[in-house]
C-alpha cells in the first residue's frame, strides 16, 4: 500500500524548537517573495516582514505557517504566511546572526567576515570562531515594542 504523507511543519528551519527559543525578544527580518497571484497576501509582495514572538502575537498562525509583522501604509500588521515565501535578508558583517543549519541550529554570534559565500561567525557565549555557508546564517534584530 502506498502512503502519501504531508510535509511536516518542522521541515522549514523556522519551526525548529532551537530557533523558536531564540525568537522571544529578537526577530528575523525577511523580504516577501514569490507569492502566487491568487494569494490573499499578493499586495505585500516585495515588502519587508519580521517574525513576531508568541507573546506579542495578535493572531494565531495557520497550520504550517508563521506569524510575521508587515508595515503597510505606515502601520504594522500581523499576518500568517507560509515561510517558503520569506527570503531572509542577506547576512551582514558586524550583525548578530542566528545559525539555521541543522548541526548548529539555534546558535547565535557575530558575523565577523562574509567572503565567497562563507561566513566567519564568533559564537556566543564562548567566543569560538566557526565557519558556515551563507545560506545557513540569518540576521537577528533586537525587537522594539
Domain extent for 133: 90-142
**Domain co-membership, 22 together with 61:** yes
Mean pLDDT of the chain: 90
Q: Based on C-alpha coordinates, what's the Rg of the chain?
A: 16
Q: What is the dihedral of CA 48, 107, 59, 61, to 10 degrees?
A: 90
pLDDT tens digits, one per residue of 29-80: 999 999 999 999 999 999 999 999 999 999 999 999 999 999 988 899 999 9
Cβ neighbours for 65, distance < 8 A, ≥ 6 positions apart: 80, 81, 82, 83
How many degrees, rounded to 5, is the angle at CA 126 between CA 122 and CA 130? 35
pLDDT, position 127: 95
pLDDT, position 11: 77
**Domain co-membership, 111 together with 71:** no
Task: Specify the CATH number for the domain of residue 98.
Answer: 2.30.30.30
Instruction: Give the three-state DSSP class for 142.
Output: strand
Contact 132, 22 (CB under 8 A): no
**Domain co-membership, 94 together with 83:** no
The pTM is what? 0.87
**Domain co-membership, 80 together with 126:** no
Amino acid at each position: 500500500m502506498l502512503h502519501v504523507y504531508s510535509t511536516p511543519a518542522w521541515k522549514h528551519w523556522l519551526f525548529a524548537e532551537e530557533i523558536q527559543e531564540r525568537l522571544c525578544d529578537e526577530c528575523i527580518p525577511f523580504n516577501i517573495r514569490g507569492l502566487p497571484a491568487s494569494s490573499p497576501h499578493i499586495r505585500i509582495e516585495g515588502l519587508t516582514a519580521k517574525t513576531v514572538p508568541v507573546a506579542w502575537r495578535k493572531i494565531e498562525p495557520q497550520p504550517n505557517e508563521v506569524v510575521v509583522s508587515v508595515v503597510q501604509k505606515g502601520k504594522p500588521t500581523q499576518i500568517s504566511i507560509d515561510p517558503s515565501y520569506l527570503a531572509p535578508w542577506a547576512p551582514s558583517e558586524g550583525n548578530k546572526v542566528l545559525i539555521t543549519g541543522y548541526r548548529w541550529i539555534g546558535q547565535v554570534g557575530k558575523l565577523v567576515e562574509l567572503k565567497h559565500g562563507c561566513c566567519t561567525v564568533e559564537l556566543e557565549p564562548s567566543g569560538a570562531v566557526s565557519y558556515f555557508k551563507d545560506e545557513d546564517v540569518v540576521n537577528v534584530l533586537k525587537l522594539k515594542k
